[in-house]
Amino acid sequence: MTEGNFVDYVKMHVSSGKGGAGSAHLRREKFVTKGGPDGGDGGRGGHIIARANPNLWTLLHLKFKRHIKAGHGGNGSKQTSTGADGEDMYIEVPLGTVIRDTETQEILKEITEEGQEFIVAEGGMGGLGNSHFKTSTNQTPRYAQPGVGGKEVDVTLELKVLADVGLVGFPNAGKSTLLSVITAAKPKIANYEFTTLKPNLGIVQYRDFQTFVIADIPGIIEGAAEGKGLGYRFLRHIERNSTLLFMIPADAPDVAEQYQILLHELEKYNPELLDKDKLIAITKCDMLDDELKAELKSELDKNLPVEYLFISSVAQQGLTQLKDRLWAMLNRPAVEE
């Protein structure tokens, strides 16, 4: 999927259908005198319904659908016939979509399960026909209820990708290169910062035909909380990752310091991210000889509080060990409290 086709944020105005009016009809048939009221109820207005679609990975199909309207309910008629319900309108969304009220910013629903549906705006109720209002003292009511109007809501759809592993690192740390090597994804790779402007997903083929999903998130820089670089826009995509893989190049001035900066930026965005499983990949290790690698390892053993691995995506070094370790972390038995 190209960057231009990845859409993870859409605003739209939705309008549910209004209910049909009840009928105030009086029965009129040959040889039937004073037939009485037989007006039917109005039909329900159409709902606006968000529905999970596991075949979708982005909100691209909704990019230009800014207004969605459901059908109105039909009016009631004679012989207590109920009007037809208005046509429901379905908004197909990928798994991981958050539906938010644009005005209040309240989260209305998170779509995370296949087949899940949520009524974003309920259709108006149909009005009651005059047959409901017949009493012993009012045997010929000549009135009925009007239908209830529909609802209009401004909603924001935000996609948080459902991936097992999220790649976290500074720009040009080798995240896209790793993704291109261990998955079939084809992210943009170049020797300058911020080559990745949209999240990329890839499926890692593991042993015995097993797989897990990895997400490449655009690079974070120090001060992202203040809007520097690409800011925090894409960090929501790692909120649902169970494991975070921090990628720091071997030629970084201070590996431990860069790790602490990344942790600090994540904590400012959402402190709960620090509770996830963490692993550090020291990238671009093909530039190191055995002596330099041993020296760096001695330094990291003292300063890094988290497990780390040496890898090189270009030279295909350490990738099998990396996949083994990630698989073990993803399938670690849950600890009973």
Binding residues for GTP: 169-176, 194-198, 216-219, 283-286, 312-314
Cα distance between residue 239 and residue 94, in whole Å: 16
C-alpha distances in angstroms, 309 versus 82, 110, 121, 277, 314?
69, 35, 50, 15, 15
Cα distance between residue 308 and residue 124, in whole Å: 58
Cα distance between residue 324 and residue 314, in whole Å: 19
Query: Which strands make up the sheet holding 117-121, listed edge to edge?
Result: 89-93, 48-52, 117-121
> What φ, ψ does residue 166 adopt, rounded to 5°?
-110, 130
Dihedral sign for Cα atoms in the order 122, 94, 240, 238: negative
Annotated binding site: 169-176, 194-198, 216-219, 283-286, 312-314
Cα distance between residue 74 and residue 240, in whole Å: 43
DSSP classification of residue 295: H
Annotated binding site for Mg(2+): 176, 196
Query: Which strands make up the sheet holding 152-159, listed edge to edge?
Result: 67-69, 9-15, 152-159, 97-101, 107-111
- The b/e string for 175-209 (b: 16+ C-beta within 10 A; e otherwise) is bbbbbbbbbebebeeeeeeebbebbbbbebeeeee
Query: Which strands make up the sheet holding 200-205, listed edge to edge?
Result: 200-205, 211-216, 165-169, 243-249, 277-283, 308-310
Cα distance between residue 116 and residue 49, in whole Å: 10
